[in-house]
Amino acid sequence: MPQRPAPAPSFWTLQFGGWGLYALLLIITFLPMHVGEGKALPLVMAKGIRAVFGLGLTSVMRLGYQRLFPGTFRRQALWALATSAVVGMAWVLLAEAWATWLYPTYHWQTNRMQLPRNALDYAVTLLGWSGLYFGIKHARAWQGERERALRADTLAQEARLASLRHQMHPHFLFNALTSVRALIGEDPVRARRMVTEMADFLRFSLQKGDFPHVPLEEELSMVRSYLSIESVRFEEKLDVSLSVMPGTERLTVPAFLVQPLVDNAVKHGLASGLLPVRVRIQVTREQDLLRIRVDNTGKWAPPSREPGPQGTGTGLRNVRERLAQLFAERAKLESSESDGWVHTVVELPAMEWTPVLATEAA
Rounded to 5, what percent of the chain is helix, strand, coil? 70, 15, 20
Domains held by the chain: number: 2
Shared-domain flag, residues 120 and 232: no
pLDDT beyond 90 at 193: no
| pLDDT for res 155 | 59
Order of all β-strands in the sheet with 289-297:
238-244, 277-286, 289-297, 341-349, 332-338
| pLDDT for res 87 | 92
CATH code, domain with 212: 3.30.565.10
pLDDT beyond 80 at 202: no
Q: Does a structural domain hold residue 355?
A: yes
225-236 pLDDT, tens digit each: 888 878 877 778
Q: What are phi and psi of 125, to 5 degrees?
A: -60, -45
Shared-domain flag, residues 130 and 203: no
Domain boundary among 124, 148, 172: 148
Shared-domain flag, residues 216 and 325: yes
Domain boundary among 93, 128, 148: 148
Q: Does a structural domain hold residue 319?
A: yes
Q: At what angle do helices 40-65 and 11-34 cross, to 10 degrees?
A: 150
Mean predicted confidence (pLDDT) in 44-52:
85
| pLDDT for res 326 | 81
Asked which of 237-246, 340-349, 350-359 is least confident by mean pLDDT, the reply is 350-359
pLDDT beyond 70 at 180: yes
To the nearest whole number, what is the mean pLDDT of the chain?
80
What's the residue count for the chain?
A: 362
Q: Does a structural domain hold residue 182?
A: no
Residue 131: partners with Cβ closer than 8 Å, 6 or more residues away: 80
E strands, 169-276, in order: 213-215, 238-244, 252-254
Shared-domain flag, residues 122 and 235: no
| pLDDT for res 182 | 76
Q: How far is CA 194 from CA 180, 191, 199, in A?
A: 7, 5, 9
User: What range defines the domain where residue 345 resides?
Assistant: 187-361
Shared-domain flag, residues 295 and 195: yes
Q: Does a structural domain hold residue 160?
A: no
Shared-domain flag, residues 41 and 96: yes
pLDDT beyond 50 at 116: yes
Chain CA centroid to CA 311, Å: 35
Q: Does a structural domain hold residue 228?
A: yes
Q: Regarding predicted confidence, which is higher, 65 or 46?
A: 65
* C-beta of residue 152 within 8 angstroms of C-beta of residue 159: no
Q: Does a structural domain hold residue 100?
A: yes
| pLDDT for res 359 | 45
pLDDT beyond 80 at 70: no
Return d(Cα 318, Cα 314) in angstroms, integer.
6
Q: Does a structural domain hold residue 173?
A: no
Domain boundary among 92, 124, 148: 148
DSSP summary character for residue 256: T
| pLDDT for res 341 | 92
Q: Which residues of 82-113 are buried (b: 16+ CB within 10 A; e: fewer)?
A: ebbbebbbebbebbbebeeeeeeeeeeeeeee
Residue 122: partners with Cβ closer than 8 Å, 6 or more residues away: 54, 87, 88, 89, 91, 92
Shared-domain flag, residues 141 and 191: no
Residue 352: partners with Cβ closer than 8 Å, 6 or more residues away: 250, 251, 252
Residue 224: partners with Cβ closer than 8 Å, 6 or more residues away: 242
Shared-domain flag, residues 336 and 277: yes
pLDDT beyond 60 at 165: no
Three-class secondary structure of residue 167 per DSSP? helix
Q: How far is CA 51 from CA 15, 21, 44, 297, in A?
A: 11, 9, 11, 83
Shared-domain flag, residues 126 and 23: yes
Shared-domain flag, residues 214 and 347: yes
pLDDT beyond 50 at 356: no
Shared-domain flag, residues 255 and 354: yes
Q: Which pLDDT band, with edges at 50, 70 and 90, does 349 fall under?
A: very high
Q: Does a structural domain hold residue 1?
A: no
Shared-domain flag, residues 27 and 105: yes
